Amino acid sequence: MKIRTVWIIGLTLFFNLSVNAEDSIAINNEGNYVINYIGTDQNGDYINREVVYEPTNKVSVTVEEKTSSNYKGSVKYIYNITNDPNSIQNIANIKLGNILINCPFVANTNRNLLEQGWAFKPENLLSDAEMSEIVECGNSMTISPNWTAIVMPSYNNNKLDLTLSYLKDTERDGLPPGSSMKTEFESPDLPGLGFISVEGSTGTIRLSDMGPINEQMHDQLNELLLRRDLKETTTLAVIPQIMIPNPFDVIKFLNNLNGYIQDTIIAEHLVDEVKAKEIILRIHESIDNIRNNIGANVAHKELQNLRSFIHNISPLVSKHNNKNVFIQTMDFNLRYIEKLI
């Protein structure tokens, strides 16, 4: 049987196909999706054909992160990302989405525009200067050899996407199982629990036999290509999450902190929801106290009381064993804000 290889670039190659009653889809011993269907050869005769799709999710990662700050307007994020020994694939891409990074691109872009949802849309052409800033932003990062960094505005929100890509010589090159890579950058935003996604290195989609592609399997293959759970593996990590208002306002910051707890911690079920809502209510009390008793001493006392409340609240359980990380980042953030008052 001859094997024809088709390169898929940016998911722009779609087959106008859908599987009929005689067709089938199965997962083979390697975890790849095999679509068997009745097709035609170059002479128009019916033959059995198949498509083999290899997902890029056959990786498991461990992320070790460290945050530090000199309290002068930014936080340093240091990551050590390991492709676990039990992974089947090398790692090709690592993505941190919805973050802000200190780099020439951000410095030369009006942050107010970013906060209002501005982004490079497909219909907006990039100038040479904008492209140069994007390239310089990636080049300004500290990163392991054989990796490159690309920073682009997110299309769906008001922050940035950072993609770390392995420089490949062959299609299956990447970070091998049992190996690690490091990267670090600075961000104006404070840390919180979020997600890092990784993609494995794969071969190409294989079509058995030669001849025209059958038009009856479009929906099946497209569904596989667009499924995020087959495209990437996500893992929890500490990433830039919580914006410090500029100009600084402690009440606005506490509202941002509540938004993070509601939209990320509770929405993603990262800690016990009842206890998380207790923290939100306690933050609202602090906001009211600061608003009604203006003064730096009042704000300092409220932040200290908040830290004590969060440390003592129990049981702050988590299915993901990230209770301590949540508490540590909250403590770091409140201490950071105390320095700004």
Residues 22 and 106 in one domain: no
Residues 146 and 271 in one domain: no
**What domain range includes position 136?**
61-203+231-242
Of 226, 258, 289, which residue constitutes the final position of a domain? 226
174 contacts: CB under 8 Å, gap ≥ 6: 83, 89, 90, 91, 92, 166, 168, 200, 201
Task: Compute how many other C-beta atoms are within 10 angstroms of the C-beta atom of residue 168.
Answer: 13
E strands, the chain, are: 3-6, 24-27, 33-40, 46-53, 61-68, 75-83, 91-99, 142-143, 147-153, 160-166, 180-187, 190-200, 205-208, 233-242
Per the CB < 8 A criterion, the answer to whether 236 and 195 are in contact is yes
Per-residue confidence (pLDDT) for residue 118, from 0 to 100:
43
Whichever domain contains 178, its CATH number is 2.60.40
Residues 144 and 189 in one domain: yes
Residues 262 and 158 in one domain: no
Residues 48 and 103 in one domain: no
Higher pLDDT, 39 or 113: 39
Residues 128 and 138 in one domain: yes
Residues 210 and 222 in one domain: yes
Of 185, 216, 242, which residue constitutes the final position of a domain? 242
Residues 66 and 196 in one domain: yes
Residues 81 and 179 in one domain: yes
Report pLDDT digits (tens) over 295-306: 889 999 999 999
Per-residue confidence (pLDDT) for residue 156, from 0 to 100:
57
Residues 66 and 194 in one domain: yes
Give residue 13's pLDDT band: very low, low, confident or very high (50, 70, 90).
very low
Q: What is the mean pLDDT of the chain?
A: 80
Per-residue confidence (pLDDT) for residue 127, from 0 to 100:
65
Report pLDDT digits (tens) over 247-296: 999 999 999 999 999 999 999 888 889 999 999 999 999 999 999 987 88
Residues 100 and 212 in one domain: no
Q: Provide the number of structural domains found in the chain.
A: 3
Higher pLDDT, 72 or 85: 85
Residues 86 and 151 in one domain: yes
Of 194, 216, 242, which residue constitutes the final position of a domain? 242
